[in-house]
Amino acid sequence: MTLFPILPAVVIVLATVATALPQDLDCYLAPYMTVNVGSEVIGVLAEVPVDRGDYVKKGEVIARLDSKVEQQTKELKRERLEYLAREQERKKQLFKKGIISSQEIDEAETAVKVAQREYDEAVQFLARRTIRSTVDGVVVQRFLSPGERVEEKPIMKLAQIDPINAEIYVPAAQLRSIKVGDKAFIRPEPPGKGEYRGVVKVIDPVVDAGGMYGVRVEVKNPKHQLPAGLKCQVRFAGK
């Protein structure tokens, strides 16, 4: 006789859980990360082969500083290293014949080691005058052009948009209904179309003055079909 009164209560609890997840909230698409790329060394820009809107790969050359002096220095260090290496080999032959002492062999070996280190340093210093992209992304803004001096100011800003983030503000009342790792479905506004699956990656631990807290959903974007800055709608789907 006590079974039937309990059933409606169970149904009510299940219905409450089923509707606990926020539905169709506003969101906007933001880059996964943005980076300001500069130079380790001071110099004058000789070349900037990419511009605003260009897609770049991680490691791709995006700028070069004038490096005539550094190139000449590297060549001089290389020639000196090659000369000392030949001298070392010649002295080894003389030592085998008993014409020179072991001390002279040691001095020749030391000279080659020092020259090798100096050459390696020259190669590294020259390499630092070539600036490469630190991410797979798009050029958002170029701050400097060829002929301008590079010091502390960055050369350009890059944005990584694969993956792309959907940023959402959720009412505090729904704080416990979303968990990191939950699925979400993103629908971009026109000209975007379709629905994209994402995963909740970040939930802000602090509610703002408006009674909202931030949630970040990460969405794969390999073909860059979702542009950053676009508004969207999100539907959370739990685990």
DSSP 79-111: HHHHHHHHHHHHHHHHHHTTSS-HHHHHHHHHH
Question: For residue 218, what are the β-bridge partners?
Answer: 165, 199
**What is the rounded distance in angstroms from the CA atom of residue 114 to the CA atom of residue 164?**
49
Please give the pLDDT value at position 10.
38
Please give the pLDDT value at position 140.
96
Mean pLDDT by 10 residues, the chain (239 residues): 41 42 87 96 96 96 97 97 96 90 93 97 97 96 96 95 97 89 95 93 92 96 93 90
Q: 3-state DSSP call for residue 30?
A: strand
Please give the pLDDT value at position 21.
66
Please give the pLDDT value at position 125.
96
Structural contact between residues 221 and 163, judged by C-beta atoms closer than 8 angstroms: yes
Q: Kindly report, residue by residue over 175-218, the tens digit of the pLDDT.
A: 788 999 999 999 999 988 899 999 999 999 899 889 999 999 99
pTM of the complete model: 0.78
Q: Kindly report, residue by residue over 100-110, the tens digit of the pLDDT.
A: 899 999 999 99
The residue count of the chain comes to 239
- Specify the DSSP class assigned to residue 177: G
**What is the rounded distance in angstroms from the CA atom of residue 66 to the CA atom of residue 232?**
45
- Specify the DSSP class assigned to residue 13: H
69, 110, 129, 134 from 73: Cα distances, Å: 6, 21, 14, 27
